[in-house]
Structure 1
Amino acid sequence: MMRIGITGQEGFIGQHLYNTLGLYPKEFLRVEYHRDFFDSEEKLNKFVSECDVVVHLAALNRHNDAQFIYDTNKKLVEKLISSLTFTRSKAHVLFSSSSQEEHDNLYGRSKKEGRQLLSNWAENNGGCFTGMVIPNVFGPFCKPNYNSFIATFCHKLTHNELPNIEVDSDVKLIYIDDLVSFILKKIRARDGAEVVTVPYTERRKVSEFLVLLEDYKIQYFQLGIIPALNTPFEINLFNTFRSYIDHDRHFPIKFALHADQRGKFVEIVRLKSGGQVSFSTTFPGVVRGNHFHTRKIERFSVIKGEALIQLRQIGTNEVLDFFLSGEEPAYVDMPIWYTHNIKNIGTDELYTLFWINECFDPANPDTYMENV
């Protein structure tokens, strides 16, 4: 089993990499990291000594003082090298650099020089080093108003704010799952290289991304319609958009109920994407689910009985509770990387309709068991 530690584990890329490693418990052992390790030689040495692989993501991206960014990032690399040397580590070190290396700014310089220092350490000490030059990264849970315009747009659109474009530049992007897959491939192969350019997966103008996101706001956020998602990129962008919704305020959403002398009629899902619709009956006291998805879009619609739907984001402890009743049919959509379940809390049988955007494939189910 490969022991992997991630500096900057608490950050955007670090969280996704950490959680994805957790999907392979027979292959990887995650070595816990905490922000204060770089403040203690003893703690950092212990961390490094336990790792077969160190993915160095810890860095300062934004600050009013550019020189402070440069000094901080160089110092982090120097402390890591000192610890690697002291512990006589032969670990495979992967370093996240940036396409900013190409620009004449102190952040880009800190990344380029840090990459070169680690490469020298590996050459002189028998280690393995992979220096990754990474394009702009987007995906769920990235901090808005920081270093991703996609995150900022999504947050503003889901919080009744107006996004603005400062420079309508042509941007190269990679989705977080694609970046994590790239990193895992390098880890598994122990593939060292002083510099490797991570390929981007989408290239468009900033305004083109905003047009898509504005369409998601109108169709999905305001009208509840699943928009047309014709490419993996569009699914990834839509899932990113959904992650910025305050789920506990937005859901459950009541259906429009039409009743006449014949009975009742409810439209469950209006969609411009395909997928699979199914239903279940659940006996009183029984719980279904307790799993999560990393790419699938799913809707639970309660049409008869009393239900408790629970969601919890992977890596966190907060549980969101939604109480639904067939007397007022409603739905809750499942965010990616949230484990979820549904329990019959009534005295009668519970009827639930499920829609998911792709048909079930037993060879690639994208379903991971974890209790809420």
Structure 2
Amino acid sequence: MIRVGITGKSGFIGYHLCHTINQFKEEFSLVEFEKNFFNEQLKLDAFVSSCDVIIHLAALNRHNEPEVIYETNVSLVNKLVKALERTESKAHLIISSSTQEERENLYGKSKKEGRKLLSDWARQNNGRLSGLIIPNVFGPFGQPYYNSVVATFCHQIANGETPKIDVDGDLKLIYVGELVEKIIQIIRDNDNTHELFIPHTAEAKVSEILVKLNYFQNTYQETGEIPALNNDFEFRLFNTYRCYMDIASYFPKKFVQHLDARGGFVEIARQGIPGQTSFSTTLPEVTRGNHYHTRKIERFAVIKGKALIQLRRIGTEDVHEFYLDGDYPAYVDMPIWYTHNIKNIGDDTLYTIFWINEPFDPNNPDTYFEIV
């Protein structure tokens, strides 16, 4: 069992890294870390002593005074180095730096100096360091106006605001899930590359990203249509956008029901991508689901009976509850990283139609059990 400690675990990358590592409970165990450990020497030393791997993500990205960014980030690394020396740690160190290292800004300089400090420690103490130089990262739950322009635009568009392009630059991007996969592989490989450039997996101008996000808003948020997604980048960008919508007020969405002498007809989902549509019957008081996905797009549509659908974002305690009745057909979509279930709360059999963008593959299921 590899004991992994993560500083900055409540941040954007830290959130995804922690919850992904938790999917490999037989391989990794997470060592508890709180940000106040940096101000309490005994707690920091105990944390360092408990780790086989330390992933240093804690850093300040933005501040009105750039000097504060520089001083904070360098200070955090210095405190970590001193704890490593006091405890004579042999942990594998992984630090997240940025392609801004070579830019003339104090954030980039702080990241470069922090990586160098840990590199010096590794060389002097026969330690291991993976110094990751990372391009722009995007994905679900990035903080608007802080983590990335993608996070800011998603937040603004999903909430009816109009984004503004200051500089229409060309962005080199990596999806947070891809970055997390690389970090986990670096742990497994016992990497010792002090300057390790993480390649970007997508490239787009700011204006191109804005066009795509507006398209998602118009097709998905306004009409409920699953948009055409032409490549992996668009697929990941769409999954990112969905996580910035206010699901509590957006769902459940009423279907348009067409009635005639034969009965009723309801279109479930128009789509521009391949998918799988299915239906289930659920006996009274039975619950299905209690799992989450990290990439799949899924829709639950109740067509007969009464149901309670529950969603909870992984790592949080707030549960969203939606009551659906087949007499008033409606649907709820499952955002990625939200564990979800559906329960028959009526007296008769519940009929539910499910749509998902990819058929179930037992060799790559992307389905993780967790009670809502």
Code of the residue aligned with 1:295 in structure 2: it is R
Could you tell me which residue of structure 1 aligns to residue 22 of structure 2? 22
Which amino acid in 2 is paired with 1:25?
Answer: K
Matched AA of 1:166: D
- Within 5 A, what are the aligned runs for 1:305-324? 305-324=305-324
- Match of residue 226 from structure 2: 226
CA apart distance, 1:233? 1.3
2:243 corresponding residue in structure 1: 243
Partner residue, 1:334: 334
CA–CA distance in structure 1, aligned partners of residues 300 and 58 of structure 2: 38
Q: Deviations over 1:300-332 (max 9, x none)?
A: 000000000000011111100000000100000
| Worse overlay, 268-277 or 337-346 | 268-277
| Paired residues of 2:98 and 2:133 also in contact (CA < 8 A) | yes
Distance 1:306 1:362 in 2: 30
**CA displacement, residues 168-212 of structure 1 (integer Å, 9 cap, x when unaligned):** 011100000110011111110010111010000111111011111
- How far 1:47 sits from its partner (Å)? 0.8
Tell me what 2:277 maps to: 277
1:207 corresponding residue in structure 2: 207
1: distance between equivalents of 2:39 and 2:324?
48
2:140, 2:130 → 1: CA distance? 26
C-alpha RMSD over aligned residues: 0.6
Q: Distance in 1 between matches of 2:262 and 2:51?
A: 67
Q: Which residue of 2 aligns with 1:189?
A: 189
Pairing 1:99-138 to 2, within 5 Å after superposition: 99-138=99-138
The residue aligned with 2:8 is: 8
Classify the secondary structure of the residue corresponding to 1:108: helix
**Residue type at the aligned position of 1:79:** K
* Residue matched to 1:168: 168
What is the aligned-residue identity percentage? 59
- Residue by residue over 1:151-176, the C-alpha shift from the partner in whole angstroms, topping out at 9 and shown as x without a partner, is 11100111010011110011100000
Alpha-carbon distance between aligned partners in 1 of 2:295 and 2:139, rounded to the nearest angstrom? 11
Q: Secondary structure at the match of 1:187?
A: helix
- Whichever residue aligns with residue 210 of structure 1, its letter is L
Provide Cα deviations, 1:280-311, integer angstroms capped at 9, x if missing partner.
Answer: 00000000000000000000000000000000
Structure 1 Cα separation of the partners of residues 313 and 129 of structure 2: 33
Aligned residue type for 2:356: I
Which residue does the alignment assign to 1:286? 286
Distance (Å, rounded) in 1 between the aligned partners of 2:178 and 2:333? 24
SS of 2:184 mapped into structure 1: helix
Compute the displacement of 1:230 (Å).
2.2
Q: Distance in 2 between matches of 1:69 and 1:157?
A: 29
- CA distance in 2 between counterparts of 1:30 and 1:276 reads 36
Structure 2: how far apart are the matches of 1:147 and 1:361? 34
Is the Cα contact below 8 Å between 2:142 and 2:151 reproduced in 1?
yes
Whether contact under 8 Å (2:299, 2:356) holds in the other structure is yes
Letter of the structure 2 residue corresponding to residue 122 of structure 1: A
In the alignment, the residues of structure 2 paired with residue 30 and residue 230 of structure 1 have an alpha-carbon distance, to the nearest angstrom, of 37
**Unpaired segments of 5 or more residues in structure 1?**
none
Shift of 1:242: 0.1
1:36 equivalent in structure 2: 36
Structure 1 residues 146-161: aligned runs within 5 Å: 146-161=146-161
C-alpha separation between the residues in 2 aligned to 1:275 and 1:192? 42
Q: Distance in 2 between matches of 1:155 and 1:370?
A: 27
| Runs of 4+ with deviation above 6 angstroms | none
User: Counterpart in 1 of 2:89?
Assistant: 89
Equivalent-residue separation in structure 2 for 1:24 and 1:315 (angstroms): 16
DSSP 3-state at the match of 1:303: strand
> Structure 1 CA distance, aligned partners of 2:116 and 2:184?
22
Mapped to 2, the partners of 1:276 and 1:30 lie a distance apart of 36
Q: d(CA) in 1 for partners of 2:149 and 2:108?
A: 19
Q: What is the rounded CA distance, in whole Å, between the counterparts of 2:238 and 2:101 in structure 1?
A: 30
TM-score using structure 2 length: 0.99
- 1 CA distance for matches of 2:106 and 2:152? 24
Residue 147 of structure 1 deviates from its aligned partner by 2.9
CA contact (8 A) 2:297 2:336 kept: yes
Cα distance in 2 for residues equivalent to 1:103 and 1:148: 17
- 1:55-96 Cα offsets, whole Å, 9 max, x none, are 000001111111111111110000000001111100000001
Which residue matches 2:216?
216
User: In structure 1, what is the Cα distance between the partners aligned to 2:366 and 2:140?
Assistant: 17
| Aligned partner letter, 2:141 | F
Letter in 1 for 2:182: F
Partner of 2:259: 259
- Verify the 8 A CA contact 2:301 2:353 in the aligned structure 1: yes
Once the two structures are TM-superposed, the CA of residue 146 in structure 1 deviates from its matched residue by 1.1
Tell me the alpha carbon deviations over residues 113-145 of structure 1, each in whole angstroms, 9 at most, x when there is no partner.
Answer: 110110010111121101000000000000011
What letter matches 1:144 in structure 2? P
Structure 2: state its 5+ residue gaps.
none
Q: Is the 8 A contact 2:12 2:147 kept in 1?
A: no
CA distance in 2, matches of 1:69, 1:345: 53
Distance in 2, Cα, partners of 1:119 & 1:279: 56
- Amino acid in the other structure paired with 1:329: P
**Secondary structure of 1:193's match?**
coil
- 1:221-268 CA-partner distances (Å, limit 9, x unpaired): 000000011212111100000000111110000100111222111111
Equivalent in the alignment of 2:301: 301
